[in-house]
Amino acid sequence: MSRPIIKPYMMPRTMQEIPFGATFESGHLVEGNAGWRTFKPEVDQEKCTLCLTCYLVCPDGVIFKKGDQLCIDYDFCKGCGICAHECKFDAIKMVKEEI
């Protein structure tokens, strides 16, 4: 599965590098979660059955399967907690972010 890639943005140094006509490449992500998450989901891989209910309900599409592991893309997870709320196996816990 393809995941978003974070590409640093270099400020243009010449007029030729300025975006033309207020148009720019779509999906150019310059940074991950900007620190607005208070709780983050943590997966207990032992309890997880890979039913993928969390994948279906995640509003940001940050949950994915890698082999037999359930993974969360913390660069883009906003910490809404829907996955933990919906998990029937109590495999996802919301844990306070440490700053």
Nearer to other proteins, 1 or 11 (CB): 11
| Shortest distance in whole angstroms from residue 43 CB to other proteins | 31
| Shortest distance in whole angstroms from residue 73 CB to other proteins | 20
| Shortest distance in whole angstroms from residue 45 CB to other proteins | 35
Q: Is 92 exposed, middle or buried, given 0-12, 13-18 or 19+ CB atoms closer than 10 A?
A: buried
Q: Is 76 exposed, middle or buried, given 0-12, 13-18 or 19+ CB atoms closer than 10 A?
A: middle
> Contact residues for other proteins (CB under 8 A)?
11-12, 15, 18-27
